[in-house]
Amino acid sequence: MSLQGVFRVALLAFLPVSEVRGALPYGVFVEELPLFLVAPLAFVVNLIPFFLVMGLLPWLVRLFQSFPWFDRLFSWYTTQAQHRFAAYRKYGRWGILLFVGVPLPFTGVWTGTLAAFLVGFGVWEIFPFVAGGAAMATGLVALLVFLGKGL
């Protein structure tokens, strides 16, 4: 077990292209780290983007809305996102939990948090559901890795 391997697993868990879906298999099969170490590490690191998106995005939007072209673009994009994610608003926070929890491409913490922000959920209103979805995805991927390791 190497510190570099643990760092690479953490980096994969953080990146929007891989998140826990890539970090767990990589950590167990490539770095040969124990699943009981990789799963909690990937889960915790995977939640960091939630705080980055929900903390920085409102500030960045306010900063750039002073530019008329950005304000028009952001208003258009927000309207499109609200239509696209209307089902998640309809199903409320549980829709975000399922969206984040299903371990498919582009359905992780990064995308779920962005959708929650654009639809208008508050930080503490949605955090338990994003974290629950991340836990669900971590559990499902860990189960698949565990079953795959036994083959």
Domain extents for the chain? 3-150
Chain centroid to CA 9: how far? 15
- Identify which of 19, 44, 22 has the alpha carbon closest to the alpha carbon of residue 31: 22
Question: Does residue 24 or residue 79 have the better pLDDT?
Answer: 24
What's the pLDDT at 52? 95
pLDDT classification of 151: cutoffs 50, 70, 90: low
User: What proportion of the chain, given as a percentage, has pLDDT over 70?
Assistant: 95
What's the predicted TM-score (pTM) here? 0.87
Res 80: pLDDT: 81
Q: Is the pLDDT of residue 83 over 80?
A: no
Closest CA to 117 of 49, 66, 68, 71: 49
**Percent of the chain residues topping a pLDDT of 90:** 64
At 75 the pLDDT is: 84
Q: Answer yes or no: is pLDDT of 51 > 80.
A: yes
Q: Which pLDDT score is estimated for 87? A: 64
Residue 17 φ/ψ, nearest 5 degrees: -80, -20
